[in-house]
Structure 1
Amino acid sequence: MTSLQNTSTTTETTQTTALYNALNVQIANWSLLYTKLHNFHWYVKGENFFTLHAKFEELYDQATVYMDDIAERLLAIGGQPVATLREQLELSTLLEATGTEQANQMVSSLVEDIATVSTELTETIVLAEQVSDQPTADLLIGIRGEIEKAAWMLNAYLGR
């Protein structure tokens, strides 16, 4: 009986660690997106400058909220959020801006990033549900819904 309990505890610990790690990837990605969106905000040029300049600002403001909400949730459940740029760059699954993107390339890059983050959010939601952490799953489901709407809008801008 003790062996079975130890196996169960080990599995729970492994699943919890996987959840912590996945949440840290989300924090890293939102940190990278925050910086990338500032780059785009500052360097966008062309006939759609005003539209994109404002949209990029809206998105980096939202990235700040997502990063903070996920980090605070991670602290609330006993984890430790990555809090240095070095750690965040190592963990992020996204690419930094090159600084040479044209306006439509900026938008396309964001659509790709949102698709990556959305897929990873889905995986992290599953991890949260495996450890019966519905509040974390709910937080991530809300974020996923919001970024899917943002992707739809960005795709519409691109005429897709």
Structure 2
Amino acid sequence: MEINIGINQADRKEIADGLSRLLADSYTVYLKTHNFHWNVTGPMFNTLHTMFEGQYTELAMAVDEIAERIRALGEPAPGSYAQFAELTVISEETGTPKAEEMIRQLVEGQEAIARTARSVFPAAEKAGDEPTADLLTQRIQLHEKNAWMLRSMLA
């Protein structure tokens, strides 16, 4: 059945492609944050363990919301490690860095997600896609705050 939500197919595809990159970045940071939650050690253990849990829990909900928006636009949502690896700008971590390096990597990841979300705005605005613009605004605000909170631990 044709989709008739007031956004043409080409614009829906362009927006969904941007959201797919956002989904891949978000999932990669989710996985990295969960890894760091499990493996953090040192004098900031309790603080970081708790902070990382809050952040990966929020990201788990966010990836579902992003994927559902892609589906509402009529496009398939990427859902495999291979697809995410192809779409993301964030490097995965296969080792167990020290706590300070974990924080630094997560700051970079949070900032990258904010930049990716911001890059989708022009297509959403051009198409009058207010739900996507709202989603992007919320993601940017949250990731900029998370980056600030993490960055403050490095000062």
Superposition TM-score, scaled by structure 1 size: 0.87
Gaps of 5+ in 1: 1-11
Determine the structure 1 residue equivalent to 2:27.
31
RMSD: 1.3
Note if contact 2:28-2:88 (Cα within 8 Å) is conserved in structure 1: yes
Identity rate, percent: 35
Superposition TM-score, scaled by structure 2 size: 0.90
Listed one character per residue, the Cα deviations across residues 58-108 of structure 1 (whole Å, up to 9, x for unaligned) are: 111011111111111111121211011211111111010132311010001
CA distance in 2 between partners of 1:151 and 1:99 (Å): 22
> After the TM superposition, which of the residue ranges 143-152 and 12-21 deviates more from structure 2?
12-21
Letter in 1 for 2:95: G
Determine the structure 2 residue equivalent to 1:5.
none
Q: What displacement does 1:15 show?
A: 3.6
Determine the structure 2 residue equivalent to 1:104.
100
The alignment covers a number of residue pairs equal to 148
Letter in 1 for 2:18: A
1:90 and 2:90 equivalent? no
Note if contact 1:39-1:99 (Cα within 8 Å) is conserved in structure 2: no
Determine the structure 2 residue equivalent to 1:130.
126
Gaps of 5+ in 2: 1-7
- Which of 64, 69, 81 is 1:68 aligned to? 64
Greater Rg by CA? 1
Q: What displacement does 1:13 show?
A: 4.5
Residue 80 of structure 1 aligns to a residue in which SS? coil
